Amino acid sequence: MKITNVVCSKGLTGFYFDDQKAIKAGAQSDGAMYIGEPVTPGFSRIRQAGESISVMITLENGQIGWGDCAAVQYSGAGGRDPLFLAETFIPLIENEVASHLVGQEADSFKRLATEIEHLKDANGRKLHTAIRYGVSQAILDAVAKANGLNMCDQIAKEYGTKVSEKTLPIFTQSGDDRYSNADKMIMKGAPVLPHGLFNSVAKTGQKGENLMAYVKWLTQRIKDYPPYEGYHPIIHLDCYGTIGQIFGADNYVGMADYLEELEKVAHPFHLRIEGPMDSDSTQSQMRDLRGLREEVDRRNIKVELVADEWCNTLEDVILFADNKAGHMIQIKTPDLGSIHNTVEAVLYCEQKGIGAYQGGTCNETDRSTQVCIHCAMATNAEQILAKPGMGVDEAYMICFNEMQRIIALRKAGIGTQR
């Protein structure tokens, strides 16, 4: 089944692009806006509307495979590609990318996705990660349709995996509305919550006291309003490096002391801390996460450390996994480019015995989320991120419903491997 055309449309994401450097430097919010001038190149404001590109690949039998190009909320930060603006990149997809794909057989997701991952633009540079991300989604959908398979089953066929027969744990994210949104998560019985968005020392507290108070409140809230008997979620908090800012990124003892107290406050719920420090480079971040993980393990502190910043590519994931830099790695799907890299990153973490959290960003779309769910189900990721947006309900619905559709179709014998 040959590819006959590639069509693009400009779209919006479920959130915004935020200038992380400006926010970390103390930019103050004003409602949903931020006051001040942007710092990261490409930004016209500290917060601006997120953009996406829908890529639609047509097959000779008239079927269409589609995916969405999207970039993370904090584009241009932590070693990532620059701001992704649709009008800048649509011509590149409709020309260079289309020229490469049209006329090819839609016979292998992995082969075609790998080719897109290594395709160069007119200046000899790799395509923006968002382009590789969205085009590979469309490729997966097109190849799956050409073979009469669900997307997850196409992945399982090519990688020799077994698709999960049950829903995977969904991790919900709150944004700054961390109290009301936590209530939504609890009501819906979210398995992992709440994210928290502790992305400045002002939010975390000069000595971490605000985060401590929030965990105390959240723990009691779960106990007071369980959605069903036996509800026992994991508390997962994203700290954006602020614990390292407070205690010192290489002060493993000081950070561990704080985490030990935080663990006590979170009891009886298991605690995960994402991004405890931000050490300004891949190597230093790996070193400091490994050092803190060793200190936490040595003292038997029951807190899982989750790698995020500076762990952006498949190569970074391999580096962090090999060095056990944390207990779990967020595989931030848009940052890895082509989604075959996400598949391989999850499988590598599982092979190394480190938690594979298939994440992403609030700044994605419904479509990129659906395709990611197929990747996660095909690889049995340990947890997945509810995305896009930070309103809880919509993102949780998209993830949960897509998993339920996969399970129902496969139970009916539709779209499974022959």
Please give the pLDDT value at position 418. Answer: 59
Please give the pLDDT value at position 146. Answer: 97
Half-sphere exposure of 272 (CA within 13 A, CB side): 24
275: closest CA among 245, 298, 300?
A: 245
The per-residue pLDDT for range 171-211, each reduced to its tens digit, is 999 999 999 999 999 999 999 999 999 988 999 999 999 99
Please give the pLDDT value at position 23. Answer: 85
Half-sphere exposure of 119 (CA within 13 A, CB side): 27
Query: Among residues 207, 332, 352, 411, which one is catalytic?
Result: 332
The per-residue pLDDT for range 248-271, each reduced to its tens digit, is 999 999 999 999 999 999 999 999
Are 138 and 57 in contact by the 8 Å Cβ rule? The answer is: yes
Q: How far apart are CA 185 and CA 171, in angstroms?
A: 9
Residue 103 makes CB contacts below 8 A (sequence gap 6+) with 2, 3
Q: What does the radius of gyration of the chain's CA atoms come to, in whole angstroms? A: 21
Whether 332 is catalytic is yes
Written as tens digits, the pLDDT of the chain (418 aa) is 999 999 999 999 999 999 988 987 888 889 989 999 999 988 999 999 999 999 999 999 999 999 999 998 888 776 678 889 999 999 999 999 999 999 999 999 999 999 999 999 888 999 999 999 999 999 999 999 999 999 999 999 999 999 999 999 999 999 999 999 999 999 999 999 999 999 889 999 999 999 999 999 999 999 999 999 999 999 999 999 999 999 999 999 999 999 999 999 999 999 999 999 999 899 999 999 999 999 999 999 999 999 998 998 999 999 999 999 999 999 999 999 999 999 999 999 999 999 999 999 999 999 999 999 999 999 999 999 999 999 999 999 999 999 999 999 999 999 997 5
Domains of the chain, first to last: 3-147 (3.30.390.10), 170-411 (3.20.20.120)
pTM reported for the whole predicted model: 0.95
Please give the pLDDT value at position 14. Answer: 96
